[in-house]
Amino acid sequence: MRYLEGGFRGGAEEERGESDAGVAEESDSSEDEEEHIGYDIAGKKIRKQAKRDKIDSFLAGVDDSKNWRKIYDEYNDEEIELTKEERRLIGRILKGKTPHADVDPYAPYVDWFEWEEKGMPLSGAPEPKRRFIPSKWEHKKVVKYVRAIRKGLIKFEKQKEKPRFYMLWGDDSSSAENTRHGLSYIPAPKPKLPGHDESYNPSVEYIPTQEEINSYQLMYDEDRPKFIPRRFESLRNVPAYESAIRDAFERSLDLYLCPRTRKKRINIDPESLKPKLPSRKDLKPYPSLCYLEYKGHTGSVKSISVQITGQWIASGSTDGTVRVWDVETGRCLKVWEFGESIQHVAWNPLPDLPLLAVSVGQDVVLLDTGLGNAEEQFRAKRTAPCDTKPLVRWLRHDKLDAIRLEHSKAVSSVEWHFKGDYFITVAPTILIHRLSKKLTFNPLKKLHGLPVSSVFHPSRRILFIATKKNVRVYDLSMEKPKFMKKLEPSIREISSVAVHPGGDNVIVGSKEGKLCWFDMDLSAHPKDITNVAFHRSYPLFASSSDDCTAYVFHGMVYSDLNQNPLIVPLEILRGMIRLPDSGILDCKFHPRQPWLFTAGADSVIKLYCH
């Protein structure tokens, strides 16, 4: 009531003078006498707060440290505590400043009118009335044009008439006759127009020789040409076409029986079909630069192996030596002479058992490296040989103070089990050896193909055997190995195989430069791939090739089985000296750091770091 009567005064109300002011004072006094200040949404009265005595309010203000911030709102009948921002605004107003500090009251004036090129200033006179009244001169001009059109003095272009004729070989898909039913009309394909071959007097290059005509008889009917060009002196000498009726009949059948469908062309940007891969900067660290070289071999380094702690690396070469290097310094710690080309070296995965398995010729030698503390060396010397028969003989190697496993055929590779008590050899049969009991047994009597490599599962009793054509998976938890599945990589010849530390993914390298990734749950180099390797802790895997390059990939395997692994190419490592038909022969990752070791045919071992 107070707002309506006091806020909208103007015009005639101001003329009333004092009488209206008296009415407003009476209404204000009547409001103060009421016990309520308004009504809520349900129509109920909102009672006023009970007024306290001034002494009580003074005593309450003395006890309240925030009383100086509070003010009484008469309109809403409540006490309001001012915020810090509101107090700042009130302070600025009392000082005669603008309420907001961001406002500059003395900002420079921007003159929007260009005074330099104008001859006179803008006028402040109101708009004339003639600008809002239709012009009589425009009306006379319109009347003049209308009279000229009626008399024919002004003529317009006539609409173009539809042509009475149409092109015989044109597209009749939009003709009114074919679209009268409201359906999409698909025109019949036009027959091929005659060319130079069908001419009665073609050029010499279009006329086949007798030998070509005889070769047509040896072709299949679908490949044989339907018409053989001939030359006539005049059009009068051209005989009737013998297949004219047959061709017309086949054309009628094509138009009547062949179904026609409209193919919708989809314009898609080829770049949009490529998967969106993360940036290589977000996938660091990964090996990219050559940090250290290990030189000492005189022949090609065929195999390398990194000790489980990452402190030492072993290498085997065609010069008949096995060397152990310190990873950080590159110093050669030990050298063993075998006098024969080394095929494969592999460290025992147990950190407290520093044994090195070496395959040379028909033997597998277990070397006591003498590294580690006294307790580790004592445990390594306890692995004494024992003479057992049939498959492999466990003998003492007196010259090297090691254990020698004598096989009947040459051994191509040696791989340890993750527990360190078992290791497997390919010679060319698959043999599993137990170190603690000096036993050798052949779990697979019959192999489907010539084995190339074999590895154990990193955490389960599963064996992967790679032949030249496929990879077969066996379960070793039973008394007799049970065949589980076969991985078909569809490549010419398999060269190497590696298992992801999680055990659910396998990568296979081939001798034709292809690298295949297999998901066990779902089941390119220009030259031969010599080896593939997974990192133990980082999502990295690599492949080495005879083209003197090593490819490093990011391979993230997710715990969600419905999500495919993420594979991103990261780096191509180069730097090896190219030799005829050989390049990088082996590659291995450091067990803890994102480092990659490569063994080349140039007798140099290289370490690549991030």
| Three-state helix/strand/coil letters over 446-505 | CCCCCEEEEEECCCCCEEEEEECCCEEEEECCCCCCEEEEEECCCCCCEEEEEECCCCCE
Distance CA 28, CA 30 (A): 5
Q: What is the mean pLDDT of residues 214-226?
A: 84
- Whether residue 21 is predicted with pLDDT greater than 50 in this model: the reply is no
Q: What is the mean pLDDT of residues 357-379?
A: 74
Least confident of 58-62, 130-134, 347-351: 58-62
| Integer CA distances (angstroms), 16 to 21, 22, 106, 579, in order | 9, 11, 42, 115
Q: How much is the pTM?
A: 0.51
- Whether residue 385 is predicted with pLDDT greater than 90 in this model: the reply is no
- Whether residue 388 is predicted with pLDDT greater than 80 in this model: the reply is no
Residues paired with residue 342 on neighbouring β-strands, in sequence order: 360
**What tokens were used for 138?**
């425009």
520 in Cβ contact with 497 (< 8 Å): no
Residue 167 pLDDT = 67
- Whether residue 399 is predicted with pLDDT greater than 80 in this model: the reply is no
Considering only CA atoms, which of 457, 419, 421 is closest in space to residue 534? 457
How long, in residues, is the chain?
A: 610
- Type of residue found at 425: T
Q: What is the mean pLDDT of residues 68-88?
A: 85
Provide the pLDDT confidence category of residue 143 given band limits of 50, 70 and 90: very high
Residue 327 pLDDT = 87
Distance CA 557, CA 500 (A): 9
**What tokens were used for 103?**
């406002």
Q: How many helices (H) and strands (E) does the chain have?
A: 10, 32
Per the listing, tokens 């005879």 go with 546
Task: Identify the structural domains of the chain with CATH numbers, from first to last.
Answer: 297-409+434-442 (2.40.128), 446-609 (2.130.10.10)
- Whether residue 518 is predicted with pLDDT greater than 50 in this model: the reply is yes
Residue 132: φ, ψ to 5° = -110, 5
Q: Where would I find the beta strands (DSSP E) of 12-151?
A: 36-39, 45-47, 70-73, 78-81
Provide the pLDDT confidence category of residue 141 given band limits of 50, 70 and 90: very high
For 403, the 3-state DSSP assignment is strand
Q: What is the mean pLDDT of residues 474-496?
A: 82
**What tokens were used for 165?**
């004729």
Distance CA 541, CA 439 (A): 34
Provide the pLDDT confidence category of residue 168 given band limits of 50, 70 and 90: low
Q: Within 13 Å and on the Cβ side, how many CA atoms surround 179?
A: 6
Provide the pLDDT confidence category of residue 509 given band limits of 50, 70 and 90: confident
Residues 122, 128, 132, 138: is their CA dihedral positive or negative?
Answer: negative
CA 353, distance to chain mean position in Å, is 42
**How does pLDDT run across 260-303, given as a tens digit for each residue?**
666 777 778 877 777 777 887 888 888 888 888 888 888 888 88
Residue 171 pLDDT = 55
Residue 93 pLDDT = 92
Distance CA 335, CA 323 (A): 5
Distance CA 207, CA 228 (A): 8
Residue 137 pLDDT = 92
What percent of the chain stands above pLDDT 70?
84
- Whether residue 12 is predicted with pLDDT greater than 50 in this model: the reply is no
Peptide bond into 285 cis (omega under 30): yes
**What tokens were used for 550?**
């090593």
- Whether residue 4 is predicted with pLDDT greater than 60 in this model: the reply is no
Residue 366 pLDDT = 85
Least confident of 281-290, 389-398, 450-459: 389-398
Average pLDDT, the chain: 79
**What tokens were used for 492?**
């010419």
For 325, the 3-state DSSP assignment is strand
Distance CA 439, CA 561 (A): 39
484 in Cβ contact with 474 (< 8 Å): yes
